[in-house]
Structure 1
Amino acid sequence: MMLIPGHFWPSTATVAERKAVESFLNERNIRIETLNQPNLDVNLAALTPECRNYSCGVVASALELAADWGATGVVVNPGKTNPVFPASLEKLTECFQSSLDILVPRAAELQVQLIVKNHPLSWLYKGTDLLSFFNRYGWTSIGLGYDIANAAFGRDPAVDVIPQLKKHLSAIYVADTPLEDFRHDPLGGGAVSFEPIAQVLESIDYRGPSIFEIVSADPDRAILESASFLNKFWRPR
C-alpha cells in the first residue's frame, strides 16, 4: 500500500479512517505486506539534522500504522545526495546510520521491519552495497526489498545479485522499464528479462511476496496483463 496523499497519509487521516481500513482488512482476511513510502520528501541521509529528524518522524509514523494494520514492514530507501555537489560516502554513511539509530529501536518495539529498497536515485542502491552496509551495521528489524525495474535502470545485475541477498530478502518488486528512461511499466514492453530472474528466485527457494509496482493510467488492466505475462514462467507461491 502506498503512503502518499491520494492513497493514504497518516497525519491527514482521522482515527475513524484508520480504524475503517483496519476493520476492512480483518473482515476480508487481507494482509498488507508492506507500506511503501515514495522518497520524494523524505531523506534519511540528509546532511541537515532537521531534515533527518523530520524524515525519521515520517517513517516512525508509518511504522506505527504498519503495526496497527498488521503489515510486515515499511519500505524506505537510504536517502539521496546532491548530484552536483555530492557529500562523501563517509558522511552519507554517518547520516544514514544516525537515522537508523532512531528508527531501528522503534521498529523492533513495534515488531515491524524496515525494508530497505534499492533505488537508483539513492546514494546507496546496488544490492551488494546494501548487503555490505548492513553486514557492518547489523540486521535487527531490517530486511531488503529488491526492485527489478530499479535494478535494471541502475545497471545492477539482478541474476547475480539476488542469490547474495537470499538470507535478507523480504520482498521482490516487479515492473518493467527501458534503459534510457526510468519507468515502472507493465511487464513485457521494456528491457527487463524476467525469465532468468524467475529461475534464480526458484533456485534460492524464494517464498516472500512478489509485489507489482506498476505506473499506468489503467492500473487494473496493467496488473492483470502483467500477471498473465509473469505466470508463463514464474508462479509465486
Structure 2
Amino acid sequence: MSVAFGAHSYAWMWSMPARPCLERLQALGFDEFELITMPGHLWPTEMSGAQRVSLRDWVEGEGATLRTLNHPGTDLNLASPVPEVRAYSVQILAQVLALAADLRCPAVVVVTGRVNPLLPAPLEHHRQWVLDALRALVPVAEDLGVRLALENIPLGPLPRARDLLDAVAWLNSPAVAVCWDAANAHFCGEDPAEGLREVAPWLEVVHLSDTDRSSWRHDVIGTGAVDFASVLQAARDVGHARKPLLELCIRNPEEGHRASLSRLAALETTERLQRE
C-alpha cells in the first residue's frame, strides 16, 4: 500500500545508485520520487541511452512516478559573479534537463544560486546574474518539454516566495514553475504555509523536512519547528494534487523516513479527529 507522501533520494546519494535506492524507498511504501543527480547515484554522463531507457521502463513498470530531478547547489552557482561559473552551471543543468526528458520526468528542481555569506555583491547584481542564467536555460527546457522548478534557498538571492514569483514573471515561460521547500522557508523567517499559498499557481512540487531557525537542516519530521499541519492544510486548500515529497538530508535514511511517515500520519489523524 502506498503512502500519502513521495520521497527524495538525497540521503542515499553517497551510498548507492538510483535504482536500488528507489527499491528501498518503494519497500517503505513510496511510489512518487525525486532523484538527486550526483556521480555514482544518477549522473548524465554516466548513463548511456540504454541505461536511461532501462531505468525509465523500470519506474513505469512498477507503477511509480518520477516527479523531479534535482542537482544540489554545492558545485553549481547560477548567481556567481564569475561569468564562466554561470556558463558552466547552465551547461550542467542543460544535461540534467536532457536526462529528465529521457526518463520522462516532467521537471528539474533548480537551486537559484548562492551568495557570499561574508561580503556578497549587491543583491540586485546577484539577482540579475541568476535571472540571466535562467533565461539561457528556458529555451532548453521548452524544447525538451521539461519544467524548471525554481526552489527557495536560504543562501541564494531568491530566498522567499515573492522573489520566486518575480523571477517567474520576468522569465515569462510555461516551462518555469516553483519548488516550495517548507524547511527553507521556515529557516528564512517566512511562514511556509503562507508562502505556499502565494506560489500556488506555479507550484510544481512541495519539499518537506524539519528545521529550526538556529541552524539550517533537512531533518526528520517532528525534530524541528516547522508547522506541518498548516503546510499540509495550505497544500489541500490550493488544490495541490501531487504528493508532497520528503527531502531528508540525514545519515540514517530508512529509520528517518519511517519516523517521518509515522509522525505525519499521527498529525493527519489528529487533524481528522478535530474536524469531526
Class of the TM-score when normalised by the shorter of the 2 chains: over 0.9
Percent identity between the two aligned chains: 31
Give the superposition deviation at 1:232: 3.2
With over 3 angstroms needed to count, the CA separation of the structure-2 counterparts of 1:233 and 1:139, relative to structure 1, is farther
Runs ≥4 residues deviating over 4 A: none
2:230 matches 1:206? no
2:251 is the alignment partner of 1:217 = yes
Provide the residue aligned with 1:190 in structure 2. Answer: 224
Does the C-alpha gap of structure 1 residues 206 and 11 become closer, same or farther in structure 2, counting only changes over 3 Å? Answer: same
In the other structure, the counterpart of 1:168 is 202
Deviation at 1:107, TM superposition (A): 0.3
Q: Deviations over 1:124-177 (max 9, x none)?
A: 111122112322332430110111111111111112222111101111000011
Q: What does residue 161 of structure 2 align with?
A: 127
Q: Distance in 1 between matches of 2:84 and 2:50?
A: 31
Match of 1:177, SS? coil
8 Å Cα contact 1:198/1:233 also seen in 2? no
SS at match of 2:108: strand
Deviation (angstroms), 1:56: 0.5
Q: 1:21-32 alignment to 2 at 5 Å?
A: 21-32=55-66
Offset of residue 10 of structure 1: 1.3
The answer to whether the Cα contact below 8 Å between 1:104 and 1:140 also exists between their aligned partners in 2 is: no
Question: Which residue of the partner structure matches residue 113 of structure 1?
Answer: 147
Contact 1:146–1:172 (CA under 8 A) maintained in structure 2? yes
Instruction: Give the count of matched residue pairs.
Output: 235
The unaligned stretches of length 5 or more in structure 2 are: 1-34, 270-276
Tell me the TM-score normalised to structure 1 length. 0.92
Cα distance in 1 for residues equivalent to 2:223 and 2:187: 14
Q: Hey, what's the Cα distance between the residues in 2 that align with 1:165 and 1:101? A: 20
Partner residue in 2 for 1:64: 98
Could you tell me which residue of structure 2 aligns to residue 157 of structure 1? Answer: 191
User: Which protein, 1 or 2, shows the higher relative CO under an 8 Å CA cutoff with sep ≥ 6?
Assistant: 2
Q: Secondary structure at the match of 2:260?
A: helix
Which one is further off, 133-142 or 207-216? 133-142
Correspondence for 1:76: 110
Unpaired segments of 5 or more residues in structure 1?
none
Q: Relative to structure 1, is the Cα distance of residues 6 and 153 closer, same or farther in structure 2, using a 3 angstrom cutoff? A: farther
Tell me what 1:178 maps to.
212
SS in 2 for 1:67: helix
CA offset at residue 20 of structure 1? Answer: 2.8
CA distance in 2, matches of 1:234, 1:138: 37
Q: Relative to 1, partners in 2 of residues 1:91 and 1:200: Cα closer, same or farther, differing over 3 Å?
A: same
